[in-house]
Amino acid sequence: MKTVSVTYFKPSGKYYTSEEIEISEGLNGYDALHKEIPKHHRIKNMFMVVQDSEDGKEPYIVPGLFPPTIPWEV
């Protein structure tokens, strides 16, 4: 399993919390960022920043920002 660092920020931009999630190593970078990682966006009304945890496992996760989910899109 690949470890990914996740940080949540309030809509005001203030830091809220950090955690680590695990995804399958069998994914390519695109599938990881656009299909798997958004499923782990557990605080829907906050921004989620993801980045590689530097554990040396593939795929390398390019840092990315996921905006809050609009309630009617869930």
pLDDT for res 29: 87
Distance in angstroms (rounded) separating the CA atoms of residues 5 and 27: 17
SS3 label, residue 37: helix
pLDDT for res 72: 45
Quote the tokens at residue 11: 């809509």
The residues spanned by each domain of the chain are 2-73
Distance in angstroms (rounded) separating the CA atoms of residues 70 and 64: 18
- Exposure of 68 in the CB half-sphere (CA atoms within 13 A): 12
Give the mean pLDDT of 63-71: 83
- Residue 8's beta-bridge partner residues? 17, 48
Q: Enter the pTM of the model.
A: 0.85
pLDDT digits (tens, 9 = 90+) for 19-65: 999 999 999 988 999 899 999 999 989 999 999 998 989 999 999 99
